[in-house]
Amino acid sequence: MNKNQSTMSQLNRNYALDRTGAHILYMYSKLDPYIDNAIWFILKGLEEKASLLIIETEELLGRIREQLGKDGIEESDLTNVIFVSSEKFYLSHHYSTGETNHLNQLLKPFIDEGHSIRTWGHIPPTSQAPSMKEIITFECSCDQYILNNNIISVCCYNDLKTPAYLQNELMRVHTHFMTDDEYARSPLYNMKNLHTPINEKLEKLKQIEEENIELLNKNSHLTQENTRVKMTNELIKQKETKLRTIINELPIPVIIRRETKLLFTNDLALEIIVQNEAELQSLFEMSEHRTKQEYQFTLYGKKRYFIMNSISVLFENERALLHSFIDITQEKANEQLIVRSEKMNIAGELAASIAHELRNPLTAIKGFFSMLRADSDKSKEMYYNIIENELSRVEQISSELLTLAKPHSENRKRYNLVTLVEEVRLLLTSEANMKCIEIITKSEKERIDILCEDTKIKQVFINLIKNGIDAMEDNGRIVIEITQLEQTIQARVIDQGQGIPEELLTKMGEPFYTTKEKGTGLGLMICYQIIEKHNGTIHVDSQLGKGTTFTITFPVIEESAAVLM
């Protein structure tokens, strides 16, 4: 026997002891136990050959009749069972008057014939359900009628939709109280409660009901408002998540902060933060809203230039600052290239003018000098040698100026860079030996081809190696490393000289700038010009007391160009 059967057994057992009838208040919570109790109530009535009035909702009437059929009850067995729609019974005019006329009309034929009677009434939990005043008035009228006629009547209410104060009032006018699995006498029942409530009490109940409705409306409003707030917060959360995703995918570093606390950074910004934490802290203290400022950071050992934009934003419902960093390192390099190119052009024009002005008097001087030297005695030979050397030096400078000024012919072929460097090494070995300097070439491969003018490339390496020899004291070595990378070919000229101060490195390659006492600065400038014409780059690194490294890069020969060669 399940709990529901046990509950209804208690009902029948108590009724057997007290044949004066029972007015039972059933506060149900779950639908399945409720239907089981209704079926059990009907089956026990049929078993006792009682007449039954079942007032139930249309939906549940269908389910109850279906279950009775499954339990073997046929329509012929239900001749003394009246099924009535609760919507029609309780919502009609008789309910509002509190009279029992309609109930009496349904049951009188059975009462007159001496039948025992059972009724099951389900109060519909709808917005059109009777008011509390109507319910209490009706239940008071029914209670005396039920007890006078020895009727077992179960009045069913939804426990979850019936206020506690109304349940208390209902228990005052019902002899018994029942739940899905419990059954007992009502502790609040008293025959004195059976008279129709006085107006004062009804007004009080009405006021309670109105207050309850007001509270329910407020609760409904608060529930809707709470739902709206939750939806708004969820929408904000989704937008922030989307914003985080977008910011994280941006190709620029982005930081969101509040004072010194970092709220959000994308992956690119993390690289700056990790390597420049101290600089960023001081930067944040100085930065202003809606400003653009230029800053320099170190990333992986190299200087990078950024423009930092700062704007005020709303992040996580509070004001914060968003900083975006635009890398302008390449733009800076391009500006320097433009400046260098302009200097080159100016230097070229100046060089052409100077070279032409020097050539004519230089030719005349050399001619007359040769005539004077031929007629002179040998005692002045030493002075003549000095004059001749200085004239040759002036002539060399004039040639360099012309080289700088005149445009280069595009006569490039495929050459083995390793072979070109080796030829330069052999050419300068005797000069290096005079200072006990060793020139070493290193290459992973015996052949690494580039597209170039061989004489121009040789001129570059001659200039760089001779500069290294001049910068070194006696002893030491100069190393030329040649490496083929994936996208470029790299040649490094490494000397062990005194090094160049950092503040002077940016001037290397500028026209007429030199660190040598007797230099003109044209040699290195020509090197830069030649390499740039070959679509390559020159980069210089130096440490005082350790030496200088010139790194030259050449583009890898494309397959289409290789076929043409």
pLDDT in tens, 378-409: 777 777 777 877 777 677 666 666 665 555 55
Phi, psi of 367 (to 5 degrees): -65, -50
What pTM was computed for the model? 0.40
For the residues 226-240, what does the mean pLDDT come to?
82
d(CA 542, CA 475) in angstroms, rounded, equals 19
Looking at residue 97, its pLDDT comes to 46
| CB 302 within 8 Å of CB 250 | no
Q: In sequence order, what are the residues at sequence separation of 6 or more whose Cβ sits closer than 8 angstroms to the Cβ of residue 162?
A: 27, 125, 170
> With left for phi above 0 and alpha for psi between -120 and 50, is residue 118 left, alpha or beta?
beta
**Which CATH number describes the domain made up of 413-564?**
3.30.565.10
The class of domain 3-197 in CATH terms is alpha beta
What residues does each domain of the chain span? 3-197, 250-327, 331-405, 413-564
pLDDT at 494 over 90: yes
Q: CB 552: neighbour CB atoms within 10 A?
A: 25
Can you give the pLDDT at residue 1? 45
Confidence of residue 524 (pLDDT cuts 50, 70, 90): confident
563: confidence class by pLDDT, cuts 50, 70, 90: very low
Taking CA atoms, 126 is separated from 33, 86, 158, 162, 338, in Å, by: 21, 11, 11, 11, 85
Crossing angle between the packed helical segments 164-172 and 132-148, to the nearest 10 degrees: 30
Give the confidence band of 16 by pLDDT, cuts at 50, 70, 90.
very low
pLDDT in tens, 53-73: 999 999 999 999 999 999 999
The 10s digit of each residue's pLDDT in 290-347 is 466 777 777 766 778 888 888 888 777 788 888 888 888 888 777 776 666 666 666 6
Give the DSSP per-residue string, 266-326.
Answer: -HHHHHHHHH-HHHHHHHHHH--TTEEEEEEEEETTEEEEEEEEEEEEEETTEEEEEEEEE
Give the pLDDT score at 96: 46
Q: Residue 564: which pLDDT band, with cuts at 50, 70 and 90?
A: very low
CATH of the domain spanning 250-327 = 3.30.450.20
302 bridge partner residues: 299
Between 411 and 51, where is the model more confident?
Answer: 51
**Domain 3-197 matches domain 250-327 at the CATH topology level:** no
Going along 79-213, which residue ranges are E strands?
81-85, 117-122, 152-158, 176-178, 183-185
Task: Read off φ and ψ for residue 514, nearest 5 degrees.
Answer: -150, 155
Mean of per-residue pLDDT scores for the chain: 79
pLDDT band at 146 (very low <50, low <70, confident <90, very high): confident
pLDDT of 98 reads 44
178 touches 27 (CB < 8 A): yes
DSSP conformation class of 410: -
- Three-point CA angle 352, 354, 358, nearest 5°: 115
CA 13 to chain centre: 69
Mean pLDDT value of segment 202-213? 72
| CATH 3.40.50 correct for 331-405 | no
High-pLDDT (> 90) share of the chain, %: 22
134, 96 Cβ separation under 8 angstroms: yes
